[in-house]
A and B are shown apart, each in its own frame.
Chain A
């Protein structure tokens, strides 16, 4: 590239910079190569597998249309797994968002001026960082029958007369799984919501204080409505994560008792890796999981968005 001396320095620089634009492709190329190989192709391959009849150790399959999908909608274990996955998410998320909102309200309350907030946030977030596999085994041993720590505490304090076998009760096992999810995530949710509240324009609160509003009134009338976008974000990311729940139910009871905590992911894993190796059934179940995720996210998105538009 030879620039003549007549051109001004500025022009020359501009020309050079303009020419560098094609470098953008080189910078983003590695990302998209890895994406194509390890993400896009496996996704298309999963889609293909869902329409053929591969099981066992076969590598070739015949095209069978929607048979895998129609098999799944009549398969009791799959329906049970879909129901469980949604149920476990709902019963962990409702208390989770409730407590997180309460904590965020307290953390940002100008009248309370709570101290050691950094410490408490760290402590509430702490369970989130611990390996889910380890957490599952910890709760498995804590609720052990007959002489695990929880049974012993309940007997020593007289709540129970005889030890209770938690993992033989569907209700108890579901509650424990939901509690673990709640316990691992409420800290994260409360920190995100606190950050959301702190990003709201301060002058709104100042005006409310001048008007004599109580802390609760400002929270109810200013904070909550303005917090909707971030609540939407929390809801959808939690849903996407929750629908893929695997580690905890797998290591706690492997889906039992009576498949009460069998989730879509434990079902998919079981089909693909264990027993009959029904790869195509597992692939079709993955496609259902994707569709379910998209539908539920869309419902949440439109529910929250519409509501805020009506109120506006």
Chain B
């Protein structure tokens, strides 16, 4: 009786692993095909599918580059925006979370409720007013509208506050206060270092979110030299690459490879972050 049950579970387990294998293929195969095709000629790609890389990488790269697909500029622009906005977002979220955790003041509760309310608002509903406002300020083609708003990221403040509540104790800062350290100095030298684990987790999500952002730069940037990576990807569908399949696939590959590398190294942290916060990117 027990044995029959055991073998039934064993069978079930094998079927589940087969299903997991199928889902694994589903996750990886589309990217694999794209990367392999980036190394094949347009003719080979037209003739049939292959899962083994070809030898046409350099030629594809030449065509891609000569067509004006300036991927390194795109990397640079996207990195600059993602890095700056993440740094701003982490610093000011910690600052805000600290203010809301440590001090007791009249507007503390309304401020916190407002932040909770902001988490639930769909972020894109004010995009028309945002766009018009930036036009009025003469900030088209500027990175300011893509970077500065990150300083007011409600979900990040919420996450930081949750974390701070688990580690903060008044005794932590009391002695520094008696020594006469300023409040800001206490925050910088004692609290901020303690928040490193939370900052690490949220940085990854903040960076990836900014890196992947498409709608905002699409609205605000039209100078080609300031295009971000997703905007360059868009060029692939419209430009001269429609018959140059190898170059088209190479362009897509180059747009996804940095994220694949990041994921290879940080997937454990990312899954941990999703598990802990239910973070929605």
Contact = CB atoms under 8 A, between A and B. Distances in A.
Whether chain B is bound by chain A comes out as yes
Interface of A: 13, 16-17, 20-28, 30-32, 34-35, 38-39, 41-49, 59, 106, 111-112, 114, 118, 120-134, 137-142, 147, 149, 152-153, 156, 183, 187-188, 191-192, 194-195, 230, 233-234, 236-237, 240-241, 243-244, 246-247, 250-251, 265, 268-269, 272-273, 279, 282-283, 286-287, 289-290, 293, 297
A272 to B, nearest CB: 5
Contacts of B236: 137
Interface residues of B, number: 97
A31 B100 CA distance: 12
A42 B129 contact: yes
Nearest to B178: A13
A240 B124 CA distance: 10
B270 A28 contact: no
Contact of B237 (A31, A112, A233, A251): A251
B122 A240 contact: yes
B118 A124 contact: no
Contacts of B275: 191-192, 194-195
B148 A247 contact: no
Contacts of B267: 122, 125-126
Contacts, number: 275
A192 B274 CA distance: 7
B122 A243 contact: yes
The SS class assigned to the A binding surface is helix
B18 interface: no
A126 B27 contact: yes
A210 B31 CA distance: 47
Contacts of A35: 118, 152
Contact of A34 (B131, B149, B170): B149
Contacts of A13: 174, 177-178
A74 B271 CA distance: 45
Interface in B145-178: 145, 148-149, 151-152, 157, 170, 174, 177-178
B180 to A, nearest CB: 10
13 contacts: A25-B107, A26-B184, A46-B126, A122-B271, A123-B24, A125-B267, A129-B208, A133-B231, A134-B233, A141-B34, A141-B248, A237-B280, A289-B125
Given A35-B152, A38-B148, A244-B124, 10 more contacts: A20-B103, A31-B157, A34-B148, A39-B152, A42-B126, A49-B128, A106-B16, A188-B274, A265-B124, A282-B128
Interface in B225-281: 229-231, 233-234, 236-237, 245, 248-249, 252, 255-256, 259-260, 262-263, 267-268, 270-271, 274-276, 278, 280-281
